[in-house]
Structure 1
Amino acid sequence: MKIALLGTRGVPNNHGGFEQFAEYFSVYLAKNGHEVYVYNSHDHPYQKTTFKEVNIIHCYDPEYKIGTAGQFIYDLNCILDARKRNFDIILQLGYTSSSVWHWLLPRKSLIVTNMDGLEWKRTKYKPVVRKFLKYAEKLGANYSDYLIADSVGIKEHLKTTYNKSSEYIAYGATNHNNPDPGVLAAYNLKAYKYSMVLARLEPENNIETILEGYKKSNTLNPLIIFGGINDYGLKLQDKYKDDVRIKFVGANYNQEELNNLRHYSRYYFHGHSVGGTNPSLLEAMASNALIIANNNIFNESILDEAAIYFNSNEQVTKILNDDEYFLLKEINTRINKSKIDQEFNWNIINKKYESFLVGLLGINT
């Protein structure tokens, strides 16, 4: 098939989850003989026209000049280019800034959209922005020929809200099987004597709930928070500055270091409450982390019984004070790593996507 991937800043990944998926999936498809194109921002660090047999199309992206509004122009430029190329399938990763141009999408191509998470629930956005995001989600659900949901919760939401069926295909990860404690010294940590959080510092990730529960607990172990320090993060830093156990260390994009930090943590807090299958959750599972997760359908559908859940800071405090959950580290981490191998391995996820897409065209693989 001749397929284009739209909706990311491009490959190879230097930004986030959709970019990582686009890199893995596009390379997989190209190796399987498909004609694959990925749209990249004009100022992406990678400027060649091919990447591991994947065709790269650079389109002008004014986000660097005008901020978020530039994403809408970038998507428009990608769509206008796609109209010239006679793609069998256009796979859109997300819908937010492309939905307003849906009427320009080429009619001869099948439009398949990964519906991402419930972006309109993110409290970091102003009410008018959240209203637009809900409208954009409705557009994405209705103009696409086919939908993909990366979690059971999103699949149910699309059915109940828009009466739209979708194909459930999760995100992927790769098990980390060669831990190295060398990175711990850089953060003055000892194996299994610290807990950690890795997340964007946003209210819907329940950062404050975790911090408040930690503050009230009697644990002596530090809590390391990885995430870029934004305005909300500065407020949290100020609120908890007197608790020497709580340490904000900023962002870290070194996956090998993060894998080892997750592996040697005592508890790994995952507070995400909005969206589908969160990449950082799968990466924590693949890194042998013992996970304490916010209690919601997105997390529970992935972790099931191989985690312990919280709804409040009081529950976080109790988990830390009792400190009994650590006894389950071996069995729960083994279950979660087995899930990565059997359900969420990148090769499995890529095959599911390929089978679904070529099936739409009636092609046998």
Structure 2
Amino acid sequence: MKIAILGTRGIPNNYGGFEQFAEIFAVYLAQQNHEIYVYNTHDHIFKGKMFQGAHIIHKYNPEHKIGTAGQFFYDLNCILDSRKRKFDIILQLGYTSNSIWSFLLPKKAVIITNMDGLEWKRTKYSNKTQRFLQFAEKRAVKSSDFLIADSLGIQKYLKEKYNKESSYIAYGAAPFLNPNEELLLPYNLDSNAYDLLIARFEPENNIEMILEGVAASQNDRPIVVVGNSNNSFGNYLKQKFKDNPRIRFIGGVYNKEHLDNLRFFSSLYFHGHSVGGTNPSLLEAMAAKALLVAHKNEFNQAILKENAFYFSNAKEVQKLRETVHKNRHEQIVQDNFRTIIQEFNWNKINESYLTLFKKSLQ
């Protein structure tokens, strides 16, 4: 098969979840002797035309000049290029900025779209932007031949709202097998003596709720907050909690080995995400044997089931901080780790995508 992947900034991953999947899946497809092409932004750090058997097509992305709107022109450039490549399948990862150009997609290619999360529910967006995202979602559903939902909640939503079937294929994670306590030294941390929160600074990730619970608790254990906080919401939180020495904002950490060790050696790992499907950072925490304390919603509960502690408000966060200790819950940690190996391993994810691809061409 001749396959293209659109909708990411490109590979190798230097950005986020979809990029990580695109890298892993593209290499897998190349190893299976399929002809795979991945679209990269012109300013991607990787300048080569081949990456481990995958063809790389660089296209201009004016985002650095005009901001977020540049993504729409980048996607347009990718779609226009795809019209002359005679792809059998085009896999779109997300729909936000490419759905408006869906009428330009090549007619003979099978269009498969991973619908990601419920982007229009994100409170950081204005009412106008939320309405546009709902419009884009609808366009993506109508213009795609096949849909992929990365969570059962998203699959249910697509069926109820659009009466459209989708294939449930989750995200994946690699089991973390080589902890190294020395990597805590740059962060001035000791094993099992800190809590951890890793998230983008957006209101729907419930960072404020978690930190309010931490501030109210009687536990002196610090919480380390990882993420780029240089936005209005991040600045607001840093100002609000600036006098609390237990709350440490350390900015973004992009070294995966460091992140995995921070997760592994944490006491409690707080996961506040509440919008969207299978969140990559949640699976990575499970894969690194963190003890999960998660926001109570259908997306998190579908993954963690009974193998986590849940909260819905700051008071519950406070109580969990004061009563839950990782060394008493090894079975929960091991059960989540086993779930990664059995259900969310990359081989299974890759095979599920490839099975769908073959089915789509029949």
Q: TM-score, normalised by structure 2?
A: 0.98
CA RMSD of aligned residues (A): 0.9
- Which residue number corresponds to residue 234 of structure 2? 233
- Which residue number corresponds to residue 42 of structure 1? 42
Identity %: 57
Task: Tell me the SS of whatever aligns to 1:141.
Answer: helix
Measure the CA separation in 2 of the matches of 1:168 and 1:222: 38
- Which residue number corresponds to residue 294 of structure 2? 293
Q: Does residue 275 of the first structure (1) align with residue 276 of the second (2)? A: yes
Measure the CA separation in 2 of the matches of 1:329 and 1:267: 11
* Distance 1:37-1:237 versus aligned 2 partners, 3 A rule: same
Measure the CA separation in 1 of the matches of 2:173 and 2:43: 28
- Which residue number corresponds to residue 173 of structure 1? 173
- For 2:122, the aligned partner's letter is R
- Superposition pairs of residues 1-365 of structure 1, within 5 angstroms: 1-229=1-229, 230-323=231-324, 325-362=325-362
Measure the CA separation in 2 of the matches of 1:181 and 1:17: 26
Measure the CA separation in 1 of the matches of 2:272 and 2:197: 8
* Distance 1:197-1:223 versus aligned 2 partners, 3 A rule: same
Measure the CA separation in 1 of the matches of 2:329 and 2:118: 31
Measure the CA separation in 2 of the matches of 1:216 and 1:240: 11
CA shift at 1:322, angstroms? 2.0
For 1:254-308, what per-residue CA distance to the aligned partner results, in whole angstroms no more than 9, with x for missing partners? 1001101100100000000011100000000000100000001111111101101
- For 1:11, the aligned partner's letter is I
| Structure 2, unaligned runs of 5 or more | none
Measure the CA separation in 2 of the matches of 1:192 and 1:327: 9
- For 1:8, the aligned partner's letter is T
Measure the CA separation in 2 of the matches of 1:16 and 1:189: 26
Task: Tell me the SS of whatever aligns to 1:67.
Answer: helix
CA shift at 1:64, angstroms? 1.1
Measure the CA separation in 2 of the matches of 1:348 and 1:9: 24
For 1:66-108, what per-residue CA distance to the aligned partner results, in whole angstroms no more than 9, with x for missing partners? 1111110111111111010111100000001111011111110
CA shift at 1:327, angstroms? 4.6
For 1:89-144, what per-residue CA distance to the aligned partner results, in whole angstroms no more than 9, with x for missing partners? 00000001111011111110010000011100111111111110111111111111
CA shift at 1:40, angstroms? 0.7
Task: Tell me the SS of whatever aligns to 1:101.
Answer: helix
Measure the CA separation in 2 of the matches of 1:181 and 1:55: 38
For 1:154-174, what per-residue CA distance to the aligned partner results, in whole angstroms no more than 9, with x for missing partners? 101101111110000000100
Measure the CA separation in 2 of the matches of 1:193 and 1:49: 46
- For 2:197, the aligned partner's letter is V
Measure the CA separation in 2 of the matches of 1:210 and 1:185: 25
CA shift at 1:328, angstroms? 4.2
CA shift at 1:60, angstroms? 1.2
For 1:38-63, what per-residue CA distance to the aligned partner results, in whole angstroms no more than 9, with x for missing partners? 11111111111111111111111111
Task: Tell me the SS of whatever aligns to 1:68.
Answer: helix
Q: Structure 1 segments of 4 or more deviating over 6 A?
A: none
